[in-house]
Amino acid sequence: MDFQLRTYAFIDRMQPQAAAQLAATCQGDVPVAGMAELFIEVAPGNEIFRCADVALKAADVRPALQVVEREFGLLEIHSRQQAEVLAAGAAVLEHLNLAERDRTRPRVASAQFVTNVNPYQAQLINKWRKGNLLIPGASLFILEVAPAAYAPLAANEAEKGAEVSLIEVRAVGRFGRLFVSGTESDVRAAAEAATRAMEGMEGRE
């Protein structure tokens, strides 16, 4: 399998809900709001072990996630200092002999908007969500992106963009998914912010 830098997504300042959701589900060091972080996703998946080794030795960063599944490997690193995260990322790129522009450009695979969520659908989603509860009658936006590891960046931008609740963020696999809820106007504003962030990123098609 040819090497791919599938995701290289820098987040300058983690928002409270985005940080809390990652902290609740990660296997490694717990991040907190206000930290900077970087998501790196590669293929083949085993290559992420070397990327983690390089990043952690290059700067004062800590990992929340190191996940290897069937096809891809995912690493998240974070620090209170943006410069440390950027230095770690630069070291990984140098190791790979790549530039940030060599990452795969995110693609919005699907964007769904539901108003006045039915109580039974809210119950179904609440069974597996890791974030806030989805309240019946709220509006719901579901964004599906590829590569999957861009979903946390979309979530962070959505939370910056409006007063919404993060219901779920899934960043592992072939597609990533973001679920946000709130009033119709707030959810639409969050959806625009998340989608704009995805469409504004440079990379290879």
Q: Three-class SS string for 46-99?
A: CHHHHHHHHHHHHCCCEEEEEEECCCCEEEEEEECCHHHHHHHHHHHHHHHCCC
List CB contacts of 97: < 8 A, sequence separation 6 or more.
none
**C-beta atoms surrounding 182 within 10 Å:** 23
Does the pLDDT at position 197 exceed 80?
A: yes
Predicted pLDDT of residue 55: 98
Mean predicted confidence (pLDDT) in 197-205:
94
Q: What is the pTM of this model?
A: 0.94
Does the pLDDT at position 1 exceed 70?
A: no
| Residue 14 in tokens | 């983690």
* pLDDT tens readout for residues 48-71: 999 999 999 999 999 999 999 888
Does the pLDDT at position 133 exceed 70?
A: yes
Considering the four listed CATH numbers 3.10.20.90, 3.40.640.10, 3.30.70.1710, 3.30.70.360, the one that applies to the domain covering 4-102 is 3.30.70.1710
Distances (CA, A) of 132 to 61, 169, 182: 28, 11, 11
- pLDDT class for 2, splitting at 50, 70, 90? confident
Does the pLDDT at position 113 exceed 70?
A: yes
Inter-residue contact 158 to 15 (CB < 8 Å): no
Distance CA 152, CA 19 (A): 10
4-102 and 107-199: identical CATH topology: yes
The number of CA neighbours under 13 Å toward the Cβ of 124 is 5
Share of the chain above pLDDT 90, in %: 96
Residue indicated by tokens 């998340």? 194
At what angle are helices 184-199 and 151-161 packed, to 10 degrees?
130
Mean predicted confidence (pLDDT) in 170-184:
96
| Residue 23 in tokens | 């902290």
Could you tell me the residue ranges of all domains in the chain? 4-102, 107-199
Please tell us whether the domain made up of 107-199 is placed in CATH 3.30.70.1710.
Answer: yes
